Amino acid sequence: MSNWLSAAVEQAQALGEQMPAWRQASLPLLQGARWPTRKTEAWKYLPVNVWEQIKLDAPANPTPQLQAIEGVDSIDLVFVDGRLQNLPASLPAGLTITTFADADSQQAIAELFGQIKPGRHVFGLANDLLATDGLLVQVAAGAAIEQPLRIVNLVSAGEEAHTRVLVRVGAGARVSVIEESLGQGPSRNTAYAEYLLEESASLEHYRFALQGSAAVNVGGAHFKLQQQAQLNSTLVGFGSQLSRLDVDVIHAGEQANAKLNAIYLLDGKELFDLHSTIEHAVPNCTTEENVRGIVADNSRAVFNGRIHIHRNAQKTLAELNNRNLLMSDRAEIDTKPELEIYADDVRCAHGATVAAIDKKALYYMQSRGISRSQAQVMLSFGFINELVEEMPNEALADWLRPQLRERFAAMEVK
């Protein structure tokens, strides 16, 4: 057992019966969990030892400040170094937000906590025990929440932080949730969110992992879709010393639909590992997953996407694609899209491509007076912008594009 993991177990043991039963249940699971190594299949491309080796020195930078998103009138919920800073004084009808400490919410928390993805790895189990200041969001049946919820995780340099969010979207309800992680300087962070979409519920979901390159972070977004539920999710990651994101979708009711788009942009020596698992457990459901990455300098991206079609999941429609653009001879992408099919009446496809930026086109544009950085942006931005244009919230897409352009401008073709 690693030193960090041992300390996490000791911290939980010290709390003992002060922890609610739904949290205590994870302690024996964590005690029996194995620390991943290069020999662990799901972690073989990541130097997990960086998690412990990072030096959390005294903060060199102030806590990053939250900036408003122009054109997006959001309900903001902010964690700073794992501590919730606010609860809104008033909320739209049909929306309830409470903390894990709320006495009246314990039953609702127990019904969701750790239930969307029971088989969690060591970091997910550690988050169960360490993320003590969590949020429960409940959308009443039939409610249409027009204002997006913006859940922000700000992590200061030199800090370790753990956050957890549970979201229940009632039958026929509709809501939009933006998860945003920000930080500068060395930090250590786990951030997990679990979503239950009841019958005919609709969730528009965004997750922006924009921590600085000095951070290490592991997190996940887990979704369970009941009958006719609709999920539209967009993920954006910039990479860090070590960054791992697990996305899980369970189709638990017929005629559920999941659309997932993901973007990662890596530079320097950054690492980003995206694992997605889609479980088609019932018939007549659809999944469309598109993942695109641009990897520069000495950075490395890992994508493992798995769609599992269970034996009785007939009439499934599922498609998984991963496309990558290498901007350096030293950059690396390890991609593994998988289909595991046990039903015979399905339509499924998967694929992956890795290509280099067109250096002839780059040279041609430079010969016409366009700077190297501008040419890079022009050639590569369209590759990503196709997914940005599919974001349902146009104002949010307009906010994201300048950040992507700035990121592109800093990435060099080598």
> Which pLDDT belongs to residue 60?
57
Count of positions (residues) in the chain: 414
> Which pLDDT belongs to residue 1?
66
> Which pLDDT belongs to residue 68?
86
The tens-digit pLDDT sequence of the chain (414 residues) is 689 999 999 999 998 888 999 999 999 999 999 999 989 999 999 999 999 999 887 665 666 677 889 999 999 999 999 999 989 999 999 999 999 999 999 999 999 999 999 888 999 999 999 998 999 999 999 999 999 999 999 998 899 999 999 999 999 999 999 999 998 789 999 999 999 999 999 999 999 998 888 999 999 999 999 999 999 999 999 989 999 999 999 999 999 999 999 999 999 999 999 999 999 999 999 999 999 999 999 999 999 999 999 999 999 999 999 999 998 889 999 999 999 999 999 999 999 999 988 888 888 889 989 887 778 777 888 889 999 999 999 999 999 999 898 888 777 666
Per the DSSP assignment, residues forming a β-bridge with 221 are: 193, 247
Residue closest to 279 by CA, chosen among 327, 335, 225, 334: 225
CB-based burial of residue 286 (10 Å sphere; 0-12 exposed, 13-18 middle, 19+ buried)? middle
Q: Does residue 401 come out as left (phi exceeding 0), alpha (psi in the -120 to 50 range) or beta?
A: alpha
Cα dist. 56→59, 189, 190 in Å? 8, 12, 15
Structure tokens at 390: 């599919």
The residue whose two tokens read 């974001």 is 391
The Cα 399–Cα 259 span in angstroms is 21
pTM: 0.95
Contact 211, 191 (CB under 8 A): no
Per the DSSP assignment, residues forming a β-bridge with 325 are: 294, 355
Residue type, 311: R
The Cα 12–Cα 126 span in angstroms is 9
